[in-house]
Every structure is written in C-alpha cells, then in structure tokens.
Structure 1
Amino acid sequence: MDYELRHLRAFVAVAKVHSYTAASRDLLITQPALTRAVQQLEVALGIQLLTRTSRSVELTAAGSEFYDKVLSIVAELDRAVLSIQGRQELRIGFQWVLPAPWATHTISEFERATGVATRLLRRDDVEPHLERGELDVAVTRTMLKSADLEHALLFDEERVAVVSSSSKLAGRRTLSWQELADHPLVINTVNGTTQPELWPPETRPGCIVPCENFDEWLHLVAAGRGLGALPRSAARSTQHPDLIFIPLVDAPAVPVWLAYQPRRRNALVRKFVSIGLNVGALEGK
C-alpha cells in the first residue's frame, strides 16, 4: 500500500489534538503539507479517517478504530528507535497533581539506578493511553476499569476539605466527612477521588456540581459554587489565593496506585514499580 510512516504520524498528530493547525505546530511542518499527508493516507487506504468542520476536526468511526491501532504501533516504533540509539525513556502518566514527595523521590531514584530519563505526561483519562502504549505506567488515585491493566497499591492518603475563602466555613478548624455532604459538592466526574458513592445511600450529597477536569474543579470551588475534598499531598501542591484547606474528620482514605499493562511490563517498568513501592512503603509509615 502506498503510504509511509510520515503519513501515519501526520494522521496521529491531527487525531490527537483535533486540529490541523495545532498538529502542524507539534510536527514543525506547514499546515498544507500536513493536510496533504493525511489526504494521501486516506486515498491509499480508500477510507475517510477525519471529518473537518469550521471549528474542529473529528474522527470518523473507521478513523477512531484506525487511530487506536496506529497509535500503539507508532509508540512501539518510537520505543525501538530510542532503545537502539541508547536513548531510552520511561513515559509516566498522571491525571492531575502527582503525590509529593513520593513522585520526586521515586523518579530521582529510578533515573539514578537505571540512567534512563523519565517523561511526565498529564492526561485526564490515562486508561486509553496506557492501553495503546502511549504511556508505560501511570499514577492514579482511582482504580482503572480495563481488565487488561494491573494496579500496584503504593499507599493511602488522608483527605482535606477545600472551601472558598469567602465561604462561611472558611474559619473552621476541622470539618466532618458527613458535614461535607450537607453542602453543594463540586465533583470531578472523570478522575476525581471524591464521588457520591463514598457516602451511604441515605446520606449522600444532595447537590452535585459536576466538572470534567482538575482545573475546572479548582475554579468552581474557588468561586464558591460548592465544597470539595483533595488528597493531602494534592492540597499541599495546590496554590490558589481563594482556597482554604481544612482537615477532614472520619473521611475515607485515598488509595494511590501505579497502573500498567502486564504485556508491556519490561525491565524498566518493573524497576519503576519496584522503586515506587519501596518509596511508598517508607512514606506510608
């Protein structure tokens, strides 16, 4: 079939960001050249992969299926090239705020022990990126659903309440877990650690303010749209002039996991998981 690796890379770049303009910047080529590469791939395959509107670029059903398969192939090829050139790297995904100081200690120890660089990639939904091989391992505070992934429990974190500085609760020294549910609650529905199911059915929050990522969550809580809760390490790493952090009483702990694909568990992944578990055991004491 008459296509080359550059055609596949062009398609993957556009599909990933849903924009020819942004993808051309990522690949450092002109937008017309990128457009031609994608069109040539579609002609070679005899299939329309992308649909273009005035506002965005979307995958067709066939394009979505092709993207999942091609992304895995391109990722494997990149790993092979880095390996043969002696420039291996470990790609570590995370959903929002990495647990500290665990992340710093683990990454430093891994790089010292292996001589391999790490690359941190924030992804709101790490699961498909792990499945396609775009990530080697991911730090997550929620159990991922795919049966193809394994999880290694690092440690449990305490939660703290997060309220707007304008809230009448801002001066409180502590809040109870149940008290949190008696107020409007901002919930990150994609990867947040605080979900209504953590309360008994009869005492669950009556008012939920949904959002889909950590940045939206921060702004909604700061604006006083509702209360929230964070793992303690995330609260320590979060700086916002309009947020107040208050210890929570009787709140369930937040488990922190490393997730990875068993079939991609090479020596580097095994080493990172081993170091991560050792560091987690020390910090969890």
Structure 2
Amino acid sequence: MPCRVHLCLLVMSEPTTSRVELRHLRSFQAVARLKSFTKAASVLAITQPALSRTIRQLEDILEVTLLDRSTRHVELTGAGQTLLDHVERSLAELDRGIAAARRESTIRLGFSWLLPDPWAQDTVTRFERATGTTVDLVRIDDPLTAVQQGQVEIALVRGPVRIPGLRVVHLFDEPRVAVCSVRSALAKTAQLAWRDVPRWPLVVNTISGTTGPWSWPANEGPTAVVETTNFDEWIESVAADRGIGVVPEVAMRRNIHPAVRFIPLRDAPPIPVALVFRPHVHETMLRHFVDIALTPEDARS
C-alpha cells in the first residue's frame, strides 16, 4: 500500500513540475529576496502587474500560498521559505552550468590582415570577460566570402561592402598612408598628395584591398596597376618596387616589412571599417559582440 501511494504521488507531481517555468522561479526569487513587487519588477525589467500574474500562476500551479501580501512588506509563508531554499540552490547550479557552457562556446572573427589597435585587443578582451565566450581570430584572404559560407561568424572588413544579405555595422574610419619600396624614388619624400598617387604604378590586392582604381572617379585613377590576391603577394610586390601601395595608417605602427617605407598622404579619403555578419545567425551573441565593439572602453563607466 505505501508503495502504491508513493507511485501515485510521483504521477501526480510530474505534470505539476512540468508546468513550472524558469520565469516563475526567477520572479519568485526576486520578490522573495527584495520583499517588494515594485523593486523586483524593476530588477526584472517587467511591469508590476505582469510580475504579480507570474507569482499568482506559480501559486496556482503548486496550490500553495508562497507570499503573505497582507503586511506592509511582502513576507514569505512557510511554504514560500521552503521553496525559496530549493530555488536558490537550483538557480545557482543552473547559472554555474550556463557559465560553464559559455566558456566552451566560441565565435570566429575573420580578418584579412592587421586588426586595428587598440580596438581589437580591447573589444575581444571585454567580450570574453563579459560572456565567457572565446573569440577565435581567423586570418583569411577573403573574409566576406568566409562570412557568407559560414567559415566565420563575423568579420572585420575595410572598405565598402556591396554584398546583399549581409549586415554591416560601421565602426570607424582609418586614415590612409602610402607605402613604397626603400629603393623607390618616393622613399625620401616627406608627404604625398592623394591626387598624385595615380602617377605611380599602384599595387592592388583585388580580394581584400582597400585602395584600387575604384577609389578614384572614372578616368582619374592609376593607369598602371599591379594585381595581387592576398596581403603577402601585395607587400612583397611593393617591397620589390613594382609600384606603390595605399594602406590604413595602422600599418605604420607595425613592422610589416623591412624593405618598405611609409609616406603620409595628404587629402586622402579615410577607409571605412565595419563588422559584417549574417543576420539571424548567432544573433544574441553577435549583437553583444557588436555592442561592445561600438562602445569605447572609456565610455563604459
């Protein structure tokens, strides 16, 4: 007979438990801790009537009164205190599990060359600390195609993006500088005007380069173009004095090649820098990454 009662209780309790949702427990915990529906609603970012309905639903499901609302401050009933003890332990364990799972998750940030500094280091560090998610940095010649094909979740791209179906978030603009071989006649030039760049053969990275004949109005760009398809080919062609190149100013702060020299450019249009990703793919995680990327470190306080 006791065995039958025990089985009966299990059968009866199962549908009751399945009707209790996480929102019920989070709401109950907040009200129980703060002893106020008003304060709990503010913390949970919901309206007080919605919170009251949620607590009432939980009491109806469990068929017990959890909170004594007759006094000025909300107080726990005996049943409420018993439930709170279990809820606190269960939610704490759940939060630890979620944090552990996030530590195992990653997003891949694709880039073609030289991530901007200190933006990249700051953004990746803050995102990993805030979420527990690891950011894998993936050097790839064509980051836009990598995003389209799902090889990376998000990519940093310089220059205009004209591919439909991708979401583009502008971050900032980078100044341009010219780069030439140390053997070039330009190597001792203190400054170069943007309008004078087309007078020299221009080395272009056709896959992910930021400057090419398309950077000038029709019939105003360089007539001699040396085409390459990746950064290594591009920098070696410049070092070999086959032409000059134009790159973001960040390259001046890196020792990218001992056989090239950088020349400041006057009146050059800046290079737009953006994050590109597919909409509705890892949406919450990528939205968080973009929010951090758009917020300077000194603006977080």
Change (3 A) 1:100 1:86: closer
1:227 paired with 2:244, answer: yes
Partner of 1:164: 181
**Contact conserved, 1:155 with 1:280, CA < 8 A, in 2?**
no
Runs of 5+ in structure 1 lacking a partner?
Answer: 1-82
1:103 aligns with 2:120: yes
Q: Which amino acid aligns with 2:180?
A: V
Report the alpha carbon displacement of residue 143 of structure 1 after superposing the two structures with TM: 3.2
Shift in CA distance, 237/198, structure 1 to aligned 2, threshold 3 Å = same
- Helix, strand or coil: the match of 2:135? strand
Equivalent in the alignment of 2:222: 205
Q: C-alpha distance in 1, partners of 2:255/2:216?
A: 25
Distance 2:142 2:111 in 1: 9
Q: Report the counterpart of residue 142 of structure 2 in structure 1.
A: 125
Deviations 1:176-225, CA, capped at 9 Å, x for gaps:
11111101110111110001121122321010011101110000000100
The residue aligned with 1:136 is 153
Instruction: Quote the Cα distance in structure 2 between the aligned partners of 1:265 and 1:146.
Output: 20
The whole-number CA distance in structure 2 between the counterparts of 1:265 and 1:151 is 15
For the residue of structure 2 that corresponds to 1:203, the secondary structure is: coil
- Is the contact made by 1:183 and 1:227 (CA closer than 8 Å) also made in structure 2? yes
The amino acid of 2:280's aligned partner reads R
Please name the residue that 1:175 is paired with.
192
Does the C-alpha gap of structure 1 residues 238 and 143 become closer, same or farther in structure 2, counting only changes over 3 Å? farther
Please give the TM-score of this superposition, normalised by the length of structure 2: 0.63
Q: 1:189 to 1:202 in 2, by over 3 A?
A: same
Separation of aligned partners in 2, 1:85 and 1:271: 13
- Pairing 1:90–2:126 present: no
What does 1:32-71 align with in structure 2 at a 5 Å threshold? none
Q: Within 1, Cα distance between the matches of 2:289 and 2:102?
A: 21
Tell me if the contact between 1:150 and 1:262 (Cα under 8 Å) persists in the aligned partners: yes
Aligned length: 200
Q: 1:280 to 1:151 in 2, by over 3 A?
A: farther
Q: Distance in 2 between matches of 1:163 and 1:281?
A: 36
Separation (CA, whole Å) in 2 of partners of 1:134 and 1:189: 20
Structure 1 residues 261 and 281: CA distance shift in structure 2, 3 A? farther
CA drift of 1:89 comes to 0.8
Q: In structure 1, give the amino acid aligned to 2:143.
A: V
1:81-130 CA distance string (max 9 Å, x none):
xx968500111111111111110111111111111111011111122321
Report the residue type matching 1:269 in the other structure: L
Residue 261 (structure 1) aligns with: 278
Q: Confirm or deny: 8 A CA contact 2:103 2:133 kept in the other structure.
A: no
Q: CA deviation at 1:235?
A: 3.1
Q: How has the CA–CA distance of structure 1 residues 86 and 158 changed in structure 2, closer, same or farther, with 3 Å as cutoff?
A: closer
Q: CA deviation at 1:279?
A: 2.9
Q: Match for 1:243: what amino acid?
A: V
> 1:267 offset after TM fit, Å?
1.9
Aligned to 2:257: 240
The percentage of counterpart residues that share the same residue type is 41
Q: Do residues 270 (structure 1) and 287 (structure 2) align?
A: yes
| SS at structure 1 position matched to 2:289 | helix
Match of residue 133, structure 2, among 94, 116, 128? 116
Of structures 1 and 2, the larger Rg is shown by 2
The one of 148, 151, 154 equivalent to 2:171 is 154
In structure 2, relative to structure 1, the CA distance for the partners of 1:125 and 1:177 (3 Å cut) is same
- Which residue identity lines up with residue 129 of structure 1 in the other structure? A
Would you say the 8 A contact 1:102–1:280 is kept in 2? no
Letter in 1 for 2:238: V
CA distance in 1, matches of 2:286, 2:230: 27
**Counterpart among 202, 205, 211 of residue 185 in structure 1:** 202
Maintained 8 Å contact 1:152/1:259? yes
